[in-house]
Amino acid sequence: MDEVGRQARWERRTELPLAVASLVFLIMYAIQVLAQGLPGAWRDLCAAVMYLAWLMFVVDYGVRWRLSGQGLRFVPAHKLDTVVVLLPLLRPLRVVKVYEAVQRRHGEPRLSLYARVIAYAGVTTVLLGFACSLAVYDEERGAPGTQMHTFGDALWWACATLTTVGYGDVVPVTARGRVIAVGLMMCGLALLGAVTGSFSSWLLQVFSLESDRRNGGGPSED
Protein backbone atom coordinates (compact mmCIF):
# COMPACT_ATOMS: atom_id res chain seq x y z
CA MET A 1 0.00 0.00 0.00
CA ASP A 2 2.89 2.28 0.85
CA GLU A 3 4.46 1.47 -2.54
CA VAL A 4 1.26 2.35 -4.36
CA GLY A 5 0.92 5.55 -2.34
CA ARG A 6 4.45 6.68 -3.13
CA GLN A 7 3.93 5.84 -6.80
CA ALA A 8 0.67 7.80 -6.97
CA ARG A 9 2.30 10.79 -5.25
CA TRP A 10 5.25 10.68 -7.66
CA GLU A 11 2.91 10.60 -10.66
CA ARG A 12 0.83 13.48 -9.32
CA ARG A 13 3.90 15.63 -8.71
CA THR A 14 5.65 14.93 -12.02
CA GLU A 15 2.53 15.31 -14.12
CA LEU A 16 2.83 19.01 -14.93
CA PRO A 17 6.65 19.17 -15.34
CA LEU A 18 6.54 16.20 -17.71
CA ALA A 19 3.73 17.73 -19.77
CA VAL A 20 5.74 20.95 -20.08
CA ALA A 21 8.87 18.96 -21.00
CA SER A 22 6.82 17.11 -23.62
CA LEU A 23 5.73 20.34 -25.31
CA VAL A 24 9.22 21.87 -24.98
CA PHE A 25 10.66 18.78 -26.67
CA LEU A 26 8.28 19.11 -29.61
CA ILE A 27 8.92 22.86 -29.96
CA MET A 28 12.71 22.42 -29.80
CA TYR A 29 12.50 19.65 -32.39
CA ALA A 30 10.40 21.90 -34.63
CA ILE A 31 12.92 24.74 -34.27
CA GLN A 32 15.82 22.43 -35.07
CA VAL A 33 14.13 21.07 -38.19
CA LEU A 34 12.60 24.29 -39.53
CA ALA A 35 15.07 27.04 -38.54
CA GLN A 36 17.98 25.91 -40.67
CA GLY A 37 19.56 29.37 -40.75
CA LEU A 38 19.96 29.47 -36.97
CA PRO A 39 23.49 30.20 -35.71
CA GLY A 40 25.36 27.20 -34.33
CA ALA A 41 25.17 28.31 -30.71
CA TRP A 42 21.38 28.47 -30.77
CA ARG A 43 21.16 25.10 -32.46
CA ASP A 44 23.31 23.61 -29.72
CA LEU A 45 21.06 25.17 -27.10
CA CYS A 46 18.01 23.62 -28.78
CA ALA A 47 19.64 20.21 -28.83
CA ALA A 48 20.64 20.56 -25.18
CA VAL A 49 17.09 21.44 -24.11
CA MET A 50 15.78 18.52 -26.16
CA TYR A 51 18.10 16.03 -24.51
CA LEU A 52 17.27 17.51 -21.12
CA ALA A 53 13.56 16.93 -21.76
CA TRP A 54 14.32 13.39 -22.88
CA LEU A 55 16.42 12.83 -19.76
CA MET A 56 13.44 13.88 -17.64
CA PHE A 57 11.33 11.16 -19.23
CA VAL A 58 14.05 8.55 -18.76
CA VAL A 59 14.48 9.53 -15.09
CA ASP A 60 10.69 9.45 -14.58
CA TYR A 61 10.55 6.01 -16.23
CA GLY A 62 13.36 4.74 -14.00
CA VAL A 63 11.84 6.11 -10.78
CA ARG A 64 8.44 4.63 -11.55
CA TRP A 65 10.03 1.28 -12.40
CA ARG A 66 11.86 1.38 -9.07
CA LEU A 67 8.75 2.36 -7.10
CA SER A 68 6.56 -0.25 -8.80
CA GLY A 69 8.75 -3.05 -7.42
CA GLN A 70 7.67 -5.18 -10.42
CA GLY A 71 11.15 -5.97 -11.72
CA LEU A 72 11.21 -6.96 -15.39
CA ARG A 73 7.43 -7.29 -15.58
CA PHE A 74 7.26 -3.47 -15.55
CA VAL A 75 8.37 -3.20 -19.20
CA PRO A 76 5.58 -5.27 -20.83
CA ALA A 77 3.03 -3.74 -18.43
CA HIS A 78 3.90 -0.18 -19.48
CA LYS A 79 4.22 -0.61 -23.23
CA LEU A 80 3.28 2.98 -24.10
CA ASP A 81 5.72 4.45 -21.58
CA THR A 82 8.51 2.22 -22.86
CA VAL A 83 7.88 3.12 -26.50
CA VAL A 84 7.72 6.83 -25.62
CA VAL A 85 11.07 6.66 -23.82
CA LEU A 86 12.73 4.97 -26.79
CA LEU A 87 11.10 7.01 -29.57
CA PRO A 88 11.05 10.73 -28.71
CA LEU A 89 8.83 11.26 -31.78
CA LEU A 90 5.88 9.64 -30.05
CA ARG A 91 6.17 11.97 -27.06
CA PRO A 92 2.86 13.71 -27.98
CA LEU A 93 1.01 10.56 -26.95
CA ARG A 94 1.80 11.54 -23.35
CA VAL A 95 -0.12 14.78 -23.70
CA VAL A 96 -3.34 12.79 -23.94
CA LYS A 97 -2.51 11.13 -20.64
CA VAL A 98 -1.99 14.50 -18.97
CA TYR A 99 -5.24 15.78 -20.41
CA GLU A 100 -7.01 12.77 -18.89
CA ALA A 101 -5.37 13.39 -15.51
CA VAL A 102 -6.37 17.07 -15.52
CA GLN A 103 -9.94 16.09 -16.33
CA ARG A 104 -10.00 13.56 -13.51
CA ARG A 105 -8.69 16.12 -11.01
CA HIS A 106 -11.68 18.33 -11.78
CA GLY A 107 -14.03 15.61 -10.54
CA GLU A 108 -16.36 13.86 -13.00
CA PRO A 109 -15.45 14.31 -16.67
CA ARG A 110 -17.82 16.85 -18.14
CA LEU A 111 -17.63 15.46 -21.67
CA SER A 112 -19.58 12.38 -22.72
CA LEU A 113 -17.67 9.22 -23.65
CA TYR A 114 -18.02 9.88 -27.40
CA ALA A 115 -16.86 13.48 -27.10
CA ARG A 116 -13.87 12.31 -25.07
CA VAL A 117 -12.94 9.64 -27.63
CA ILE A 118 -13.22 12.18 -30.44
CA ALA A 119 -11.22 14.74 -28.42
CA TYR A 120 -8.43 12.26 -27.58
CA ALA A 121 -8.29 10.99 -31.14
CA GLY A 122 -8.21 14.57 -32.44
CA VAL A 123 -5.49 15.83 -30.07
CA THR A 124 -3.32 12.72 -30.60
CA THR A 125 -3.74 12.91 -34.36
CA VAL A 126 -2.86 16.61 -34.58
CA LEU A 127 0.24 16.24 -32.39
CA LEU A 128 1.44 13.01 -34.01
CA GLY A 129 0.75 14.38 -37.48
CA PHE A 130 2.79 17.48 -36.67
CA ALA A 131 5.67 15.45 -35.19
CA CYS A 132 5.70 13.03 -38.14
CA SER A 133 5.60 15.90 -40.62
CA LEU A 134 8.69 17.37 -38.95
CA ALA A 135 10.51 14.03 -38.94
CA VAL A 136 9.63 13.16 -42.54
CA TYR A 137 10.48 16.69 -43.72
CA ASP A 138 13.85 16.37 -41.98
CA GLU A 139 14.54 13.09 -43.81
CA GLU A 140 13.21 14.10 -47.21
CA ARG A 141 14.66 17.61 -47.48
CA GLY A 142 17.13 17.60 -50.28
CA ALA A 143 16.63 13.93 -51.19
CA PRO A 144 16.94 13.38 -54.96
CA GLY A 145 13.57 13.20 -56.72
CA THR A 146 11.49 14.36 -53.74
CA GLN A 147 8.42 16.57 -54.21
CA MET A 148 8.48 17.66 -50.57
CA HIS A 149 10.12 21.06 -50.96
CA THR A 150 8.61 23.01 -48.03
CA PHE A 151 7.28 22.13 -44.60
CA GLY A 152 3.84 23.03 -45.96
CA ASP A 153 4.20 20.14 -48.41
CA ALA A 154 5.01 17.83 -45.50
CA LEU A 155 1.92 18.96 -43.58
CA TRP A 156 -0.22 18.53 -46.70
CA TRP A 157 1.17 15.00 -47.15
CA ALA A 158 0.49 14.17 -43.48
CA CYS A 159 -3.16 15.30 -43.76
CA ALA A 160 -3.74 13.28 -46.94
CA THR A 161 -2.17 10.24 -45.24
CA LEU A 162 -4.03 10.47 -41.92
CA THR A 163 -7.42 10.67 -43.64
CA THR A 164 -6.36 7.70 -45.87
CA VAL A 165 -7.06 9.85 -48.94
CA GLY A 166 -3.48 9.47 -50.18
CA TYR A 167 -3.27 11.66 -53.29
CA GLY A 168 0.31 10.69 -53.95
CA ASP A 169 1.36 14.10 -55.31
CA VAL A 170 3.82 14.41 -52.41
CA VAL A 171 5.30 11.16 -51.03
CA PRO A 172 8.40 10.27 -49.06
CA VAL A 173 11.12 8.70 -51.19
CA THR A 174 13.84 7.92 -48.63
CA ALA A 175 13.80 4.65 -46.69
CA ARG A 176 13.64 6.33 -43.25
CA GLY A 177 10.95 8.75 -44.41
CA ARG A 178 8.86 5.81 -45.60
CA VAL A 179 9.21 3.93 -42.32
CA ILE A 180 7.86 6.97 -40.45
CA ALA A 181 5.12 7.25 -43.08
CA VAL A 182 3.99 3.66 -42.47
CA GLY A 183 3.61 4.53 -38.78
CA LEU A 184 1.48 7.53 -39.73
CA MET A 185 -0.69 5.38 -42.03
CA MET A 186 -1.41 3.00 -39.17
CA CYS A 187 -2.27 5.97 -37.01
CA GLY A 188 -4.67 7.08 -39.76
CA LEU A 189 -6.27 3.63 -39.82
CA ALA A 190 -6.79 3.82 -36.05
CA LEU A 191 -8.20 7.36 -36.35
CA LEU A 192 -10.67 6.15 -38.96
CA GLY A 193 -11.63 3.31 -36.64
CA ALA A 194 -12.12 5.72 -33.74
CA VAL A 195 -14.30 8.15 -35.72
CA THR A 196 -16.38 5.40 -37.31
CA GLY A 197 -16.68 3.41 -34.11
CA SER A 198 -17.73 6.43 -32.06
CA PHE A 199 -20.32 7.40 -34.60
CA SER A 200 -21.65 3.87 -34.84
CA SER A 201 -22.03 3.37 -31.10
CA TRP A 202 -23.44 6.89 -30.58
CA LEU A 203 -26.06 6.13 -33.22
CA LEU A 204 -27.00 2.85 -31.58
CA GLN A 205 -27.42 4.67 -28.28
CA VAL A 206 -29.61 7.39 -29.75
CA PHE A 207 -31.71 4.76 -31.41
CA SER A 208 -32.25 2.67 -28.30
CA LEU A 209 -33.14 5.84 -26.34
CA GLU A 210 -35.62 6.83 -29.03
CA SER A 211 -37.28 3.41 -29.12
CA ASP A 212 -37.42 3.47 -25.31
CA ARG A 213 -39.17 6.85 -25.42
CA ARG A 214 -41.71 5.60 -27.95
CA ASN A 215 -42.49 2.51 -25.91
CA GLY A 216 -43.00 4.72 -22.86
CA GLY A 217 -39.87 3.66 -21.02
CA GLY A 218 -39.28 0.27 -22.58
CA PRO A 219 -37.72 -2.49 -20.48
CA SER A 220 -37.92 -0.49 -17.23
CA GLU A 221 -41.69 -0.19 -17.40
CA ASP A 222 -43.04 -3.68 -16.76
Q: Which residues bind a second copy (CB under 8 A)?
A: 113-114, 117, 152, 156, 159-161, 163-169, 171, 175, 178, 181-182, 185-186, 188-207, 210, 219
Closest distance between a second copy and the C-beta of residue 143, in Å?
13
The nearest distance, CB 141 to a second copy, in angstroms, is: 18
**What is the DSSP secondary-structure string of 116-168?**
HHHHHHHHHHHHHHHHHHHHHHHHHTT-TT----SHHHHHHHHHHHHTT----
* Beta carbon nearer to a second copy, 26 or 180: 180
Q: Which helix (H) or strand (E) segment is 73 a member of? A: none
CB 91 within 8 A of CB 131: yes
Residue 29 C-beta: closest distance to a second copy, Å: 22
Alpha-carbon distances, residue 122 vs 29, 94, 130, 140, 215 (angstroms):
21, 14, 12, 26, 37
Task: Using the minimum distance from each CB to a second copy, give the nearer residue, 51 or 120.
Answer: 120
Where does residue 19 rank: exposed (0-12), middle (13-18), buried (19+ CB within 10 A)? Answer: middle
Residue among 27 and 192 whose Cβ is closer to a second copy: 192
Taking the complex as a whole, the smallest distance from the CB of residue 172 to a second copy amounts, in Å, to 9
Between residues 17 and 166, which has the closer beta carbon with respect to a second copy?
A: 166
CB of 159 to a second copy, least distance (A): 5
Compare residues 45 and 155 and give the one whose CB is closer to a second copy.
155
